[in-house]
Amino acid sequence: MPAGWPATRRRVLARDRWVCRLGFAGCEGHATDAHHTVRGSEDEATIVAACGACHRIVTQQQASAARWIDARGDRAAEGGTSSGPGRGQRFVPPLIPGQVSPETGGAA
Ligand SMILES: [Zn+2]
């Protein structure tokens, strides 16, 4: 997170009038986050206002697809083309056998 991020975020939100520009299904409308559409770019032209719901969705999509929207210009809000976020994903914690050491009962 760059040092100037809070200011950048505020500028982006003000520029977009606190309206989410991602518009996924479930969009809350009111933007509270700023979203990078181009990884690594701090150019405010590539950062858009996003609501919490859309930000979660798009972050998930980017993480899973490892593909970032090429937002040259104003193409960040390309909603409705995909089938939407997968809701079936559940986090299953790995089974951790309670503090059992591999060497049990060995009298050394
Ligand atoms: Zn939204």
Question: Which pTM value belongs to this model?
Answer: 0.57
Q: What confidence score (pLDDT) does residue 66 get?
A: 61
CA angle 4, 70, 84 (to 5 degrees): 100
List C-alpha distances in Å: 8 to 21, 31, 42, 79: 16, 14, 8, 24
Mean pLDDT of 46-50: 97
Q: If you measure from the C-alpha of residue 50 to the centroid of ligand 1, how many angstroms do you get, rounded to a whole number?
A: 5
Phi, psi (degrees; rounded to nearest 5) at 39: -60, 130
Q: What spacing in Å lies between the alpha carbon of 3 and ligand 1's midpoint?
A: 25
Which DSSP category does 74 fall into?
A: S
User: What is the tens place of the pLDDT at every residue in 56-108?
Assistant: 999 888 777 664 445 444 444 444 444 444 445 455 555 555 554 455 555 55
Q: Name the residue ranges covered by the structural domains of the chain.
A: 5-65
Q: Report residue 3's pLDDT band, with 50, 70 and 90 as the boundaries.
A: confident
Taking the centre of ligand 1 as the mean of its atom positions, its distance from the CA of residue 103, in whole angstroms, is: 53
Query: What integer pLDDT is reported at residue 67 of this predicted model?
Result: 47
